[in-house]
Amino acid sequence: MTSRWKIDWRVWMQSLAVLARSPVYVLALAAIAGLWGWAAYEWLWLPESSWLVLALALIWILALAALAVAAVSSIAWSASATASRAERYLSLRGILRLSRLGSTVPVILVAVVGGAVLAALFGWINDHSLSIASFLTFHSQRAVSHKLIGGVVWVTEALIAIIGAGACMKWLILAVTPRSPANATIASRPARFSLMILVTGILAAGVFGGTAWLLATWRPVVKPGAWDYGQLIVRNALALVALTLGWLFWALSLARVTVPPLEETVASHPRV
């Protein structure tokens, strides 16, 4: 077990090292994510005043969906390239990769449908948390709060979501990894559950996601006017960078345990 954790620690350190060597990529991806969020927010305010505006709204949302798919595909491809040591850092050349959309769309559809089903299921359970608490209180003869039940449901849902998202990301990494004689054997690897998926997801969500949450919800006392708007912009920008770092750290770590380095795969396939 100790050696297993040493390997995981090395994987995390290698992923952080790649991020440290790729500051321009991180900032560019954070900027793209911010522009995407702004465009999505503006789309919500489009009036339903005419067929022309409705057609514009349809084109707008399709463009946003294509941009999101391209960004996810590029992250998976870049993570695969660095894991195989074909690249030392995340390259801006593939920051919006369109060539692997056919491999990316099925994985994203599975993730979206699975997430919707999971949210609906646990939403229904959470709506009945008061009934569950009453049932447990009656049978155990001890007071059970519905808030405790809600907390347990939320933690369970988060853990299942992390495991499912990690399995989908590993599947996507395998799908976008370029086929070659050196890595032909990894194409058939299933995206199995492992403790590494769960722990890495918890780290990414807890450290980077928690940092982003603290920055977004922090309310410093400053002078009204320009200072107030300035601190709002800075906080949200830093929160967006933290989310981007968490997403990339998660993808890079999963790629490290999914795609072997090129020298290892070549050594396992000697020339004849």
Please, are residues 152 and 129 in contact by the beta-carbon 8 Å criterion? no
Predicted confidence at residue 191, as pLDDT, reads 45
Closest to 197 measured CA to CA, from 150, 162, 239, 225: 162
Cα 224 from chain centroid (whole Å): 36
The vertex-264 CA angle with 258 and 267, nearest 5°, equals 140
Report how far residue 221's alpha carbon sits from residue 11's, in angstroms, rounded to the nearest whole number.
Answer: 40
In a domain, 170, yes or no: yes
Tell me, what's the pLDDT at 116? 92
178 secondary structure, DSSP code: P
d(CA 127, CA 239): 31
**Type of residue found at 11:** V
- Give the three-state DSSP class for 89: coil
Asked, for residue 222, whether it belongs to a domain, the answer is yes
Q: At what angle do helices 146-176 and 51-83 cross, to 10 degrees?
A: 70
Q: What's the pTM?
A: 0.81
Low-confidence ranges of the chain (pLDDT < 50): 181-192, 264-272
Q: For tokens 């020298």, name the residue.
A: 263
Amino acid identity for residue 65 in this structure: A
- pLDDT reported for residue 101: 72
Is 257:194 a contact under the CB 8 Å cutoff?
A: yes
pLDDT, tens only, 111-147: 899 989 998 988 888 887 878 878 777 777 778 777 7
Residues 6+ apart with CB under 8 A from 228: 222
pLDDT of residue 64: 92
In a domain, 270, yes or no: no
Number of C-beta neighbours around residue 158 at 10 A: 14
Q: Which pair of structure tokens corresponds to residue 105?
A: 């769309």
Query: What does the radius of gyration of the chain's CA atoms come to, in whole angstroms?
Result: 22
Query: Which range marks the domain in which residue 226 is found?
Result: 2-265
Structure tokens at 193: 């559950």
Domain membership of residue 271 (yes or no) is no
**Domain assignment present for 235:** yes
Classify residue 18: in a domain, yes or no.
yes
CA distance 254 to 203: 12
Q: How many domains, the chain? A: 1
Residue ranges of alpha helices (H) inside the chain are 2-20, 23-44, 51-83, 101-127, 129-140, 146-176, 195-203, 210-217, 226-256, 262-267
